[in-house]
Amino acid sequence: MLKAESEIKKLLSIIDLIIEVVDARAPLSTRNYHLKPLIERKPVIVVLNKCDLAESSTTFEWHEYFNKRQVTNIMIDRFETDLSKRLSPDF
């Protein structure tokens, strides 16, 4: 993790947006909290991946959880390959 952290620190000056992909079945468990202090000044989009494997009602509750905390998030299934169609220019 130290090497990855070091590499991320080097790249932060050229990164405009962080896209954090988490498993929709366990979004809080699959977040990388070691990165939080490094990326806290950057806009973040949380991608709830594998929504097709999770309970739809639970996934929607997680979507609302992030919305209430003003964390931009989108829900995708594991077969979706082109996120550019889902991201608005406002990001």
d(CA 40, CA 51): 26
Reported pTM? 0.81
Q: What value does the mean pLDDT take over residues 25-39? A: 88
For residue 50, name the pLDDT band (cuts at 50, 70, 90): very high
Q: How many CB atoms lie within 10 A of CB 62?
A: 21
Q: What is the model's pLDDT at position 35?
A: 82
Runs of H (alpha helix) within 1-91: 2-11, 36-39, 56-68
